[in-house]
C-alpha cells in the first residue's frame, strides 16, 4: 500500500523531503502562503560546507561548536558537517549550480565565526531562493495545498499523529490524514516587531507541538541578526553577514568603528555578541550603519540586497552606508527530534528550523541552516521509507466538538512589542515574570473550530511567546543567544 505523506511547509526542508518521497509515496504539501513564502527563499548568506582542499569537517565542526557555546549535540553536529559535502556534491551532480571564481572553481565566501572561507553561494546573495526553487522544480508528483493555515494535529487513540486540521483558502475547516506527518514550518520571527523572516513564519509548528504535548527543547535560544535593513524604525529585509565577510564594517553616525577592540573577530564576531553590542549602542542614542566602502563590486556580488536598497530609497551609492539594526532571525530550539527527525509523538516528524536536532547549540553558526535542511531532509526521508505504516486513522475529537473554554487574544502589535522587551536580545528575570503574568490574562491554549486564520496565527504567537519566556526564566545563566541581565 502506498504511504500517504503530509508535509507542512514549502521551504527547503519540506521541499527536499517531498522530493525524496514522491516516487514511492503519495505526498501532499500544505503551506501557509504560496510556494515562494518561506525563510529558505530569503536566505542570502549561502551554505557552509567543508569542500575546499584545505578545509576539513573537523574545522567546520570546531567552528560550529564554538559558535554554539559547546552546547551542541555532538553526535548530530558531527553528522551535519560530515554528511554535508556528500549532499552538496549530489545536488551539484543533479544540476544545481553554485557561484564560481575566475578559474572556474567553486567560489567560497567568509562569514562570522568561520576560520576560513567555506560558504557556497548561488547568484550571489540569492542562494536560498536558487536552491529552494531547484528543489521545488523537481516536485512533479506532489499535490499542493497553498494558502492553508494548519491549526492542529489529528491524533488517534494510540497517541499517534494521523493528520492535520487546517483552514483552507476560503477559511473553511478541513482535515487531511496521513501515515507520516512532517512539520517543516520554520521559526518564530513573526513574534517580534523587527524580523528577517517571511511574514508567514509565525511559530505554528512549535505551537502545534505544545498543544499536543509533543516535546520541545531549547526555546530560549533565539538568534537576533545584527544587520537588518531599517528605515524609520521598520525592517525591510536582511543585509547578509556575507557583506561583512566581504569587507564591510559597522560604524555609528560619526564613522566610529563599533566593533574595534570589542571582540577578537571584530565585525565577524558571533551574531549574539554583535547584536548585544549594537543594542547597547542604540540605547545610547547612536545610529548604526554598515560601511561598504571597502567591499569590491558590491552591486555585482549582492544583487538581491542592491535591488532592495534601491527599492527602499537608500542612497548607498553616494554614502557607502546602509542603515541597520538587530532583529529576530532564527531559533535554535524547537520540536525535539532524533537524528532521523522523529519527534516524541509516533508518526510525527520535524525538519528544518522548526526542529531541535541540537546541531546549532546555543547559537547557530552562519550559513549552517540550509545545510541542516538538506542533511536532515535526507535522513527523515530515509527513515520514512523504511518505516511501517501507521495503524488507526481517527478524527481528533478535540477539534470536532467546539469547546466551552474562553478564547481571548491580545493585539498583535502589542504582543510583539512586549515580546521584544521581555524575550528579545537582552532579558531580565523581572521582565520575564511580568510578561508571563501579562500573557496569563489571555486565553489561547486551545483552538476553537470557528476562528479565522488571523486568530489562529495570533494564538500560535502567544503560545510560542509563553514557551520561550518560560524556557528563558528556567535558565538563569547566560549562554549563547540567551543573555539574561543580573537584577
The predicted-structure confidence for 270-327, as pLDDT tens digits, reads as follows 888 899 999 999 999 999 999 999 999 999 999 999 999 999 999 999 999 999 999 9
C-alpha 121: how far from chain center: 18
CB 399 within 8 A of CB 164: no
Q: Which pLDDT does position 45 carry in this prediction?
A: 83
Domain boundaries, the chain: 1-221+332-401, 226-327
Which residue, chain included where needed, has cell 561548536? 65
Q: What is the mean pLDDT of residues 375-404?
A: 69
Least confident of 76-80, 287-291, 315-319, 397-401: 397-401
Is 396 a residue whose pLDDT tops 80?
Answer: no
CB 148 within 8 A of CB 39: no
Is 397 a residue whose pLDDT tops 80?
Answer: no
Q: Which pLDDT does position 389 carry in this prediction?
A: 60
Q: Which pLDDT does position 400 carry in this prediction?
A: 42
Q: What is the mean pLDDT of residues 15-41?
A: 97
CB 292 within 8 A of CB 319: no
Q: Express each pLDDT in 215-259 by its tens digit.
A: 999 999 999 999 999 999 889 999 998 899 999 999 999 999 999
C-alpha 480: how far from chain center: 17
Which listed residue (244, 271, 276, 379) is catalytic?
Answer: 271
Q: How far is 114 from 119, CA to CA, in rounded Å?
A: 9
Mean of the per-residue pLDDT values for the chain?
Answer: 94
Q: Which pLDDT does position 387 carry in this prediction?
A: 81
Is 392 a residue whose pLDDT tops 60?
Answer: no
Q: Which pLDDT does position 2 carry in this prediction?
A: 79
CB 482 within 8 A of CB 475: yes
Cβ neighbours of 283 (radius 10 Å) = 9
Cβ neighbours of 92 (radius 10 Å) = 14
Q: Express each pLDDT in 439-462 by its tens digit.
A: 999 999 877 878 899 999 999 999
Q: Which of 13, 62, 349 is nearest to 179 (CA)?
A: 349
CB 481 within 8 A of CB 233: no
CB 40 within 8 A of CB 13: yes
DSSP 208: H
Q: Which pLDDT does position 65 carry in this prediction?
A: 97
Is 477 a residue whose pLDDT tops 90?
Answer: yes
Three-state SS across the chain?
Answer: CCEEEEEECCCHHHHHHHHHHCCCEEEEEECCCCCCCCHHHHCCCCEECCCCCCCCHHHHHHHHHHHCCCCCCHHHHHHHHHHHHHHHHHHHHCCCCCCECCCCCECEECCCCCCCCCEECECCECHHHHHHHHHHCCCCCEEEECCCEEEEEEECCCCCEEEEEEECCCCCEEEEECCEEEECCCCCHHHCCCECCCCCCCCHHHHHHHHCCCCEECCCCEEEEEEEEEECCEEEEECCHHHHHCCCEEECCCCCECCCCCCCCHHHCCHHHHHHHHHHHHHCCCCCEEECCCCCCHHHHCHHHHHHHHHCCCCHHHHCEEEEEEEEEEECCEEECCCCCECCCCCEEECHHHEECCCCCCCCCCCCHHHHHHHHHHHHHHHHHHCCCCCCCCCCHHHHCCCCCCCECCCHHHHHHHHHHHHCCCEEHHHHHHHHHHHCCCECCCCCCCCCHHHHHHHHHHHHHHHHHHHHHCCCCCECCECEECC
Cβ neighbours of 203 (radius 10 Å) = 28
Q: Which pLDDT does position 403 carry in this prediction?
A: 53
CB 164 within 8 A of CB 7: no
Cβ neighbours of 157 (radius 10 Å) = 8
Spatial neighbors of 325 by CB under 8 A, at least 6 apart, are 194, 228, 230, 278, 282, 288
Alpha helix (H) residue ranges in 38-164: 39-42, 57-67, 74-93, 127-136
Q: Which pLDDT does position 301 carry in this prediction?
A: 92
104 phi-psi bin (left φ>0, alpha ψ -120 to 50, beta other): left
Q: What is the mean pLDDT of residues 100-120?
A: 93
C-alpha angle 393/151/396, rounded to 5°? 30
Q: How far is 221 from 360, CA to CA, in rounded Å?
A: 10
The dotted CATH code for 226-327 is 3.90.700.10
The dotted CATH code for 1-221+332-401 is 3.50.50.60
Q: Clarify whether 256 is annotated catalytic.
A: no
Q: Which pLDDT does position 227 carry in this prediction?
A: 96
Least confident of 49-53, 302-306, 445-449, 470-474: 445-449
CB 325 within 8 A of CB 282: yes
Alpha-carbon torsion angle 193, 230, 66, 371, nearest 10: 80
What pLDDT band is residue 210 in, cutting at 50, 70 and 90?
A: very high
CB 176 within 8 A of CB 28: yes
Q: Which residue has the higher pLDDT, 401 or 372?
A: 372
C-alpha 208: how far from chain center: 16
Q: Which of 363, 364, 342 is nearest to 480 (CA)?
A: 363
pTM above 0.85, yes or no: yes
Q: Which residue has the higher pLDDT, 172 or 445?
A: 172
Q: How far is 285 from 18, CA to CA, in rounded Å?
A: 48
Identify which of 177-181, 403-407, 483-487 has the greatest average pLDDT: 177-181
Is 391 a residue whose pLDDT tops 60?
Answer: no
What pLDDT band is residue 111 in, cutting at 50, 70 and 90?
A: confident
Residues across the chain: 487
Is 398 a residue whose pLDDT tops 90?
Answer: no
CB 22 within 8 A of CB 11: no
Is 388 a residue whose pLDDT tops 80?
Answer: no
Amino acid at each position: 500500500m502506498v504511504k500517504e505523506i503530509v508535509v507542512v511547509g514549502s521551504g527547503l526542508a519540506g521541499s527536499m523531503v517531498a522530493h525524496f518521497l514522491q516516487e514511492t509515496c503519495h505526498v501532499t504539501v500544505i503551506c501557509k502562503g504560496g510556494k515562494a513564502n518561506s525563510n529558505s527563499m530569503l536566505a542570502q548568506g549561502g551554505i557552509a560546507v567543508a569542500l575546499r582542499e584545505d578545509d576539513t569537517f573537523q574545522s567546520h565542526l570546531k567552528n560550529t561548536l564554538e559558535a554554539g557555546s559547546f552546547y551542541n549535540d555532538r553526535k548530530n553536529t558531527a553528522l551535519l558537517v560530515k554528511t554535508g559535502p556528500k549532499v552538496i556534491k549530489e545536488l551539484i551532480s543533479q544540476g544545481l549550480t553554485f557561484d564560481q571564481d575566475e578559474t572556474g572553481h567553486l567560489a567560497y565566501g567568509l562569514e562570522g565565526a568561520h576560520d576560513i572561507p567555506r560558504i557556497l553561494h548561488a547568484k550571489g546573495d540569492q542562494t536560498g531562493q536558487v536552491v529552494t526553487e531547484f528543489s521545488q522544480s523537481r516536485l512533479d508528483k506532489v499535490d499542493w495545498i497553498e494558502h492553508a493555515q494548519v491549526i492542529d494535529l489529528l491524533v488517534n487513540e494510540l497517541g499517534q499523529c494521523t493528520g492535520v486540521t487546517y483552514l483552507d483558502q476560503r477559511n473553511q475547516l478541513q482535515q487531511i490524514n496521513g501515515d507520516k506527518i512532517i512539520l517543516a514550518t520554520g521559526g518564530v520571527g513573526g513574534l517580534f516587531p523587527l524580523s528577517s523572516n517571511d511574514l508567514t513564519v509565525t511559530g505554528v509548528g512549535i505551537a502545534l507541538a505544545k498543544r499536543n504535548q509533543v516535546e520541545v527543547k531549547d526555546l530560549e535560544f533565539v538568534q537576533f541578526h545584527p544587520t537588518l535593513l531599517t528605515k524609520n524604525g521598520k525592517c525591510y529585509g536582511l543585509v547578509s553577514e556575507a557583506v561583512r565577510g566581504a569587507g564591510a564594517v559597522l560604524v555609528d553616525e560619526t564613522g566610529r568603528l563599533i566593533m574595534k577592540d570589542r571582540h577578537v573577530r571584530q565585525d565577524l564576531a558571533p551574531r549574539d555578541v554583535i547584536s548585544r553590542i549594537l543594542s547597547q549602542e542604540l540605547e545610547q542614542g547612536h545610529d548604526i550603519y554598515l560601511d561598504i566602502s571597502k567591499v569590491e563590486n558590491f552591486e555585482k556580488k549582492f544583487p538581491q540586497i542592491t535591488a532592495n536598497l534601491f527599492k527602499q530609497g537608500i542612497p548607498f551609492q553616494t554614502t557607502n552606508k546602509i542603515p541597520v539594526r538587530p532583529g529576530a532571525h532564527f531559533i535554535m530550539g524547537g520540536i525535539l527530534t532524533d537524528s532521523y527527525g522523529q519527534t516524541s509523538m509516533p508518526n510525527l516528524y520535524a525538519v528544518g528550523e522548526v526542529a531541535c536536532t541540537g546541531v546549532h547549540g546555543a547559537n547557530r553558526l552562519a550559513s549552517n541552516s540550509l545545510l541542516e535542511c538538506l542533511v536532515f531532509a535526507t535522513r527523515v526521508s530515509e527513515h520514512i521509507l523504511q518505516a511501517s505504516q501507521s495503524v488507526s486513522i481517527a478524527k481528533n475529537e478535540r477539534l470536532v466538538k467546539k469547546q466551552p473554554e474562553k478564547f481571548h487574544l491580545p493585539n498583535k502589535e502589542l504582543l510583539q512589542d512586549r515580546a521584544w522587551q521581555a524575550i528579545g536580545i537582552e532579558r531580565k528575570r523581572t521582565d520575564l515574570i511580568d510578561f508571563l503574568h501579562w500573557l496569563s490574562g489571555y486565553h489561547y491554549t486551545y483552538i476553537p473550530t470557528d476562528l479565522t486564520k488571523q486568530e489562529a496565527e495570533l494564538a500560535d504567537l502567544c503560545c510560542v511567546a509563553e514557551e520561550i519566556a518560560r524556557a528563558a526564566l528556567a535558565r538563569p545563566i547566560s549562554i549563547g543567544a540567551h543573555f539574561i541581565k543580573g537584577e
